[in-house]
């Protein structure tokens, strides 16, 4: 016998209530917190200051974000030295750099000390990283939850983030080695959520900004073989793919080099291949914070690898480069 209509209705309602209770009672996961952080950064007005500590160096930044009608505005400025300023209006990012004319590019996020992927689709990292929760603590006077982006093998560093428990905004981030030692840190020294957008952002949005410049075409998977030219990069960590390839002059010595940029979503690694310079550079590794630079003297050419990766990873990449 079929059940009365009203019974079905009650069961359905009870089911909905139970589902809602379970949903509300479900504990936060590392992945859900990272997604909330991305949403919080995009939807709130805030005024923040942070410092990047790398070895004995510290770089202080000011970071403003706000919503003005249908526009998302963001301003990042480096407070030391000659300064660097970056202003974003939706998907247009304008860079004001010392000793060069300002320029505007199409990009969803500012390229800076905070990895872009944290404000985008973090699922792209799942091939090479696990997301796990750590403990709770206090950062910049606010209750914080540690979220770990852990590399699935030792070819990469881990990346840890501390999120504000109330707003889920980023309070601190660090590259961490497999011993749990922080190599390079970014920490907010001040953050305040505001009801109204910062007046500086409104003023900047009224300025005449440079026209968008055309960027080089992104490398598709079908282009990779051709883009690598005369060189074969024999080994890369899991998840890395070719993002860019060209030939250009190096600023330091004006020598031509074949250049390859690889990334896994979180970090990027540059590979330079060039003829040996007079006086021959000595091979070996240099490290600063999380950044490793490895120079490999091969037979008739030099390879330099630069990135936020362990020194052994940079060495293995450099030594895997061969002529085709």
pLDDT of the residue at 253: 63
How high is the mean pLDDT in each 10-residue block of the chain (324 residues)?
A: 34 40 65 93 93 90 95 95 91 91 90 82 92 93 94 96 92 94 93 92 92 64 55 93 82 77 93 81 86 92 94 96 89
With a CB cutoff of 8 Å and minimum separation 6, the contacts of 116 are 108, 109, 110
pLDDT of the residue at 173: 95
Strand, helix or coil for residue 80? coil
Question: Where does the chain have alpha helices with state H?
Answer: 5-25, 30-43, 199-205, 224-227, 311-319
Beta 158-164 vs 170-176: how paired, if at all? antiparallel
Of 93, 81, 182, 202, whose CA–CA distance to 134 is shortest?
182
Residue 145's H or E segment, with its range, is: strand 142-151
Q: How far apart are CA 322 and CA 111, in angstroms?
A: 31
Q: How far apart are CA 88 and CA 93, in angstroms?
A: 4
**C-beta of residue 262 within 8 angstroms of C-beta of residue 234:** no
Strand, helix or coil for residue 69? coil
Strand, helix or coil for residue 14? helix
Question: Where does 151-301 have alpha helices with state H?
Answer: 199-205, 224-227
pLDDT of the residue at 126: 92
DSSP state of 197: -
């Amino acid at each position: 016998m079929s059940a009365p209509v009203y019974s079905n209705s009650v069961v359905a309602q009870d089911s909905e209530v139970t589902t809602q209770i379970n949903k509300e009672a479900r504990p936060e996961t590392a992945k859900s917190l990272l997604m909330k952080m991305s949403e919080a950064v995009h939807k709130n007005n805030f005024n923040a200051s942070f410092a990047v500590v790398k070895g004995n160096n510290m770089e202080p930044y000011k970071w403003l974000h706000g919503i003005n009608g249908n526009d998302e505005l963001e301003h990042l400025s480096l407070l030391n030295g000659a300064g660097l300023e970056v202003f974003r209006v939706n998907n247009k990012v304008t860079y004001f750099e010392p000793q060069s004319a300002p320029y505007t590019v199409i990009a969803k996020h500012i390229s800076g000390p905070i990895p872009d992927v944290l404000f985008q689709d973090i699922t792209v990292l799942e091939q090479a990283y696990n997301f796990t929760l750590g403990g709770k603590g206090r950062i910049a006077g606010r209750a914080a939850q540690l979220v770990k982006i852990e590399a699935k093998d030792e070819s990469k560093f881990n990346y840890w983030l501390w999120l504000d428990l109330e707003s889920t905004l980023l309070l601190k981030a660090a590259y961490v080695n497999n011993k749990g030692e922080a190599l390079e840190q970014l920490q907010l020294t001040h953050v305040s959520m505001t009801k109204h957008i910062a007046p500086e952002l409104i003023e900047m949005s009224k300025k005449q900004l440079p026209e968008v410049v055309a960027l080089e075409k992104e490398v598709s998977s079908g282009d990779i073989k051709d883009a690598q030219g005369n060189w074969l990069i024999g080994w890369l960590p899991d998840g890395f793919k070719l993002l860019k390839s060209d030939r250009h002059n190096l600023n330091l010595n004006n020598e031509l080099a074949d250049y390859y940029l690889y990334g896994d979503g979180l970090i990027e690694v540059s590979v330079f291949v060039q003829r040996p310079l007079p006086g021959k550079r000595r091979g070996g590794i240099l490290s600063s914070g999380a950044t490793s630079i490895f120079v490999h003297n091969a037979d008739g050419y030099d390879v330099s690898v630069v990135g936020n990766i362990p020194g052994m990873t940079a060495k293995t990449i450099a030594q895997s480069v061969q002529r085709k």
